[in-house]
Amino acid sequence: MTSFNEDGTKNWSYNTSDLTQNQPVIDKNGVIYFGSNVGKIYALKPDGTVKWQLDLKQHYGGSLFKFYKGGISMDKNGTLVTAGE
């Protein structure tokens, strides 16, 4: 995940060990959420540092959550919503 300034210069970059292919979701506080192809959800603070990460496979088992076919959405209350494979 990479953030760019308005002039196109790189602001910060965060590298995961997982492949990510979906669009991030940004909440009203600037927290950036995105998923990986191995079932992890990442939450980055506006400065690019990790707020939290969650391995859905570890918590819910199997390979249900792979975000290459879909991504993460956020409802009007700020609840993250996703679907598995």
Q: What is the dihedral of CA 37, 69, 1, 44, to 10 degrees?
A: -80
- Per residue in 39-66, pLDDT (tens digit) is 788 999 999 999 999 888 787 765 556 6
Contact 32, 44 (CB under 8 A): yes
Domain boundaries, the chain: 1-11+23-68
* pLDDT at residue 32 is higher than 80: yes
Please give the model's pTM, rounded to 2 decimal places.
0.83
Say if residue 70's pLDDT is above 90: no
